[in-house]
C-alpha cells in the first residue's frame, strides 16, 4: 500500500459525560481508496469520520491518539492546522443535506464558500469548478441551480449538491456520513452511482460511513466493522461479505440477506377493514386519490411506497386524523367515521397506531407503567393491583423485564422504547394495529427483533396489521399481501409472493430492483440491465 493519505492511531473520543465513544481505533486510508465504516448506532463510526477533520460533535472531545492528513498532523495540533485541513483537504458530507445547508443562503454561494475562504481558487475558477460538478452530478437546470435556495430543491438533489460542496477545494478525502440513508431507494441508487463515478473520476479517497452493509459493498474497497467504539474486524469488501470471521459480522451479513418469512402466509379471516375510494386533501393538495383496500382478521397488509407516495397519509386517514377526507371506510361490518372524534370509544380502542419514532411517541415525563397503564384504565377501568398486574403482563408480552415499569423512556434504548409503544397498543386489545415505519428508525438487528415480536403477537392474538414501510426487505418477510403506492395512488396490489416474483413491471419493478443486495457486483449488474441511463456520470 502506498503512503496513507489519512493515518489515525489509537483514537480516543470522549463524550461530555465521560463515556468513551471510541477505544483505540486505527485507520489507514490510501490515496483514492474507499473505506467503508460499518456498524449500528453507537458504534462510533461517525465519531471516527469527524475525527478525520479533527472535530468532535456536540461537546465530544478527541482525548487521545493522533490524526494525520497527508503529512500534516491535526490531532494533537493547533486550531490553525485543523482549520486549514477542514474543507480543503478533508471534506464532510452529512446524512441530512436538508439540514446541512444554510436555509438563508443560495446553494451556489455555499458550494464555493470553502474554495474562496481557503483561497485555493479565484471566484471564476471556483464557479467554473462548481458548475462542472453540478453537471457531473447531473443536477437539473445547471445554469440556474446555483441561484436556488435549499428549500427549493428536492432531498436527492440537495444530497448531490452537498457532495459537490464537499468537492469545492478538490479535497484528498471525502468523509461520507450515511450520504444515502435518508433517501428513497430509487433516489439512493442515483446518488450512489453518481458518487461512485465522481470518486473514481477524480481519484478522491473516501471514508464511507453507513449501517447498510449492502450499500457499502457497492462502493468500498475495504470495510471496517465497528461495534461499541471498537473494531470488530476489517478486510476487503469481498472478504467481509463472503467470509466474515467474527460472529457479529456474520449476523450483520445474514440479517441483510435474510429473505425467509417470519410468519407463514395465512388465509385471511373475515374482513375487518375496508376502504373504498378514499380521498384526502391538505388544503388544495390532494394527498390520496381513490385509494381502496381490504384487510382480513389476522392478516398483514403492507403499504409500500417512497416519500410522497401517500402511505403515511393513508395510515393517518384510517386512524381518523386528517381534517378532510372523502370516501367510505368500514370496520368489522360497521361504518367507520372519517374523523376520530366521531368514532365510538370501542372503535378507537380496536384500532391502534404504532409510530416510526418511539422517542417522540412516548411522553418523556411519564413512567413506562403510566404509559402502558393509561389504555388499561381508559378502556377497561383497571385500578390498583389489577392495573399493576396488567402492566406487568404487557411488559412480559413484549419481552421487557418487569422492573422497567418504574423507568422513564429516557432510560431505554430505541428498540426497548419501540417495544413499549407496541405494549401500549396491545393494552387496548385491538383488532387492528397500524404500524407506521415501526422499524425504520432502528438498527438492523434490533429491527429484526421487533419484527419477530410483531409476528409472534400476531400469531398468538390474530391481530391484523397495516404495515406502512419503505423497506421492501421487511415487507417480503412479514406481509401476506402488499399494496404499492406512488404519488397518492395505488399502482399495484396483490399477494406479497406474486408482487415479489419476477417478472416485475413498471414502478414496482423499479422499487424492487433498487433494494441493494449483498453482492459486490449488484450495482454493476443493475446498471447493465437498466442501460446506460444512470451511468453517463462515469
Partner 1 sequence: MSRLILKRLGLGVFTLWLVSVLVFAGTQVLPGDVASAILGQNATPEALDVLRRDLGLNDPLVLRYVTWLKGFATGDLGNSLASGQPVSELIGSRLMNTLMLAAYAAVISVPLAVVLGILVAVFRGSIFDRVMNVLALACVALPEYFLGLLLVLWFSVQLGWLPALADTYPGMGLGEWIKATTLPALTLVLVTMAQMMRMTRTALLGVMDQSYVETAWLKGLRAPRVVLRHALPNAAAPIVNVVAFNIAYLITGVVLVEAVFNYNGLGRFMVDAVAKRDLPLVQASALAFAAAFVLLNMIADIAAIALNPRLRHPR
Nearest residue (CB) to partner 1, 149 versus 504? 149
Nearest residue (CB) to partner 1, 50 versus 231? 50
- Classify residue 422 as exposed, middle or buried by CB count within 10 Å of its CB (0-12, 13-18, 19+): buried
Least distance to partner 1 from the beta carbon of 135, Å? 22
**Sequence-ordered alpha helix ranges (H) in 203-246:** 213-219, 237-242
Cell of 299: 392478516
Least distance to partner 1 from the beta carbon of 162, Å? 8
Nearest residue (CB) to partner 1, 165 versus 426? 165
What's the angle, vertex CA 87, arms to CA 83 and CA 93, rounded to 5?
Answer: 130
Backbone φ, ψ for residue 13 (5° rounding): -120, 135
Q: Are strands 90-93 and 173-177 parallel, antiparallel or unpaired?
A: parallel
Least distance to partner 1 from the beta carbon of 37, Å? 17
Nearest residue (CB) to partner 1, 8 versus 91? 91
Longest dimension (CA), the chain: 76
Least distance to partner 1 from the beta carbon of 351, Å? 35
Least distance to partner 1 from the beta carbon of 68, Å? 17
Host H or E run for residue 62: strand 61-69
Nearest residue (CB) to partner 1, 83 versus 290? 83
Least distance to partner 1 from the beta carbon of 82, Å? 8
Host H or E run for residue 313: helix 311-318
Cell of 477: 418477510
Nearest residue (CB) to partner 1, 55 versus 507? 55
Nearest residue (CB) to partner 1, 114 versus 511? 114
Least distance to partner 1 from the beta carbon of 113, Å? 6
Least distance to partner 1 from the beta carbon of 118, Å? 6
Judged by the rule CB under 8 A, the positions of this chain that interact with partner 1 are 50, 53, 55, 57-58, 82-88, 91-92, 94, 96, 99-105, 113-114, 117-118, 149, 151-152
Nearest residue (CB) to partner 1, 146 versus 197? 146
What's the angle, vertex CA 14, arms to CA 11 and CA 20, rounded to 5?
Answer: 80
CA distances from 465 to 84, 270, 299, 300 (A): 54, 14, 6, 5
Cell of 214: 449492502
Rounded CA separation 280/329 (Å): 13
Host H or E run for residue 524: helix 522-530
Amino acid at each position: 500500500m502506498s503512503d496513507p493519505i489519512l493515518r489515525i492511531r489509537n483514537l480516543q473520543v470522549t463524550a461530555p459525560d465521560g463515556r468513551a465513544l471510541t477505544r483505540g481505533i486505527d485507520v489507514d486510508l490510501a490515496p483514492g481508496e474507499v473505506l467503508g465504516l460499518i456498524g449500528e448506532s453507537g458504534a462510533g463510526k461517525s465519531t471516527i469520520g469527524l475525527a478525520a477533520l479533527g472535530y468532535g460533535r456536540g461537546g465530544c472531545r478527541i482525548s487521545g491518539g493522533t490524526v494525520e492528513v497527508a503529512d500534516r498532523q491535526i490531532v494533537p495540533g493547533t486550531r490553525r492546522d485543523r482549520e486549514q485541513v477542514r474543507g480543503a483537504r478533508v471534506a464532510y458530507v452529512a446524512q441530512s443535506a436538508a439540514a446541512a445547508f444554510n436555509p438563508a443562503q443560495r446553494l451556489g454561494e455555499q458550494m464555493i464558500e470553502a474554495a474562496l475562504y481557503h483561497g485555493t481558487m479565484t471566484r471564476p475558477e471556483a464557479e467554473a469548478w462548481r458548475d462542472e460538478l453540478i453537471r457531473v452530478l447531473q443536477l437539473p437546470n445547471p445554469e440556474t441551480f446555483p441561484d436556488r435556495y435549499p428549500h427549493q430543491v428536492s432531498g436527492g438533489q440537495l444530497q448531490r449538491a452537498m457532495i459537490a460542496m464537499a468537492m469545492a477545494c478538490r479535497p484528498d478525502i471525502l468523509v461520507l456520513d450515511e450520504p444515502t440513508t435518508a433517501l428513497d431507494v430509487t433516489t439512493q441508487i442515483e446518488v450512489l452511482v453518481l458518487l461512485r463515478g465522481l470518486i473514481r473520476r477524480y481519484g478522491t479517497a473516501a471514508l464511507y460511513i453507513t449501517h447498510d452493509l449492502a450499500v457499502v459493498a457497492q462502493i468500498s474497497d475495504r470495510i471496517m466493522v465497528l461495534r461499541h467504539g471498537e473494531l470488530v474486524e476489517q478486510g476487503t469488501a469481498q472478504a467481509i461479505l463472503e467470509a466474515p470471521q467474527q460472529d457479529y459480522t456474520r449476523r450483520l451479513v445474514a440479517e441483510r440477506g435474510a429473505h425467509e418469512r417470519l410468519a407463514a402466509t395465512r388465509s385471511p379471516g373475515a374482513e375487518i377493514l375496508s376502504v373504498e375510494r378514499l380521498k384526502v386533501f391538505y388544503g388544495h393538495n390532494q394527498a390520496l386519490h381513490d385509494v381502496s383496500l381490504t384487510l382480513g382478521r389476522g392478516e398483514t397488509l403492507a403499504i409500500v411506497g417512497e416519500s410522497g407516495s401517500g402511505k403515511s397519509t393513508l395510515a393517518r386517514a384510517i386512524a381518523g386524523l386528517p381534517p378532510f377526507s372523502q370516501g367510505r371506510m368500514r370496520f368489522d361490518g360497521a361504518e367507520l367515521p372519517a374523523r376520530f372524534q366521531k368514532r365510538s370509544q370501542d372503535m378507537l380502542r380496536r384500532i391502534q397506531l404504532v409510530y416510526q419514532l418511539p422517542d417522540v411517541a412516548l411522553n418523556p415525563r411519564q413512567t413506562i407503567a403510566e404509559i402502558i397503564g393509561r389504555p388499561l384504565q381508559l378502556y377497561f377501568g383497571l385500578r390498583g393491583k389489577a392495573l399493576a398486574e396488567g402492566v406487568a403482563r404487557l411488559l412480559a408480552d413484549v419481552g421487557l423485564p418487569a422492573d422497567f415499569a418504574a423507568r422513564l423512556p429516557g432510560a431505554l434504548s430505541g428498540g426497548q422504547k419501540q417495544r413499549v409503544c407496541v405494549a401500549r397498543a396491545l393494552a387496548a386489545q385491538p383488532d387492528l394495529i397500524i404500524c407506521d415505519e415501526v422499524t425504520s428508525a432502528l438498527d438492523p438487528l434490533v429491527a429484526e427483533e421487533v419484527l419477530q415480536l410483531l409476528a409472534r403477537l400476531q400469531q398468538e392474538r390474530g391481530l391484523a396489521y397495516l404495515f406502512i414501510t419503505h423497506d421492501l426487505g421487511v415487507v417480503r418477510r412479514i406481509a401476506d399481501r402488499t399494496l404499492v403506492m406512488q404519488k397518492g395512488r395505488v399502482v399495484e396490489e396483490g399477494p406479497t409472493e406474486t408482487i415479489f416474483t419476477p417478472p416485475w413491471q413498471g414502478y414496482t419493478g423499479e422499487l424492487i430492483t433498487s433494494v441493494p443486495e449483498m453482492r459486490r457486483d449488484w450495482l454493476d449488474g443493475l446498471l447493465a440491465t437498466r442501460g446506460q441511463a444512470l451511468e453517463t456520470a462515469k
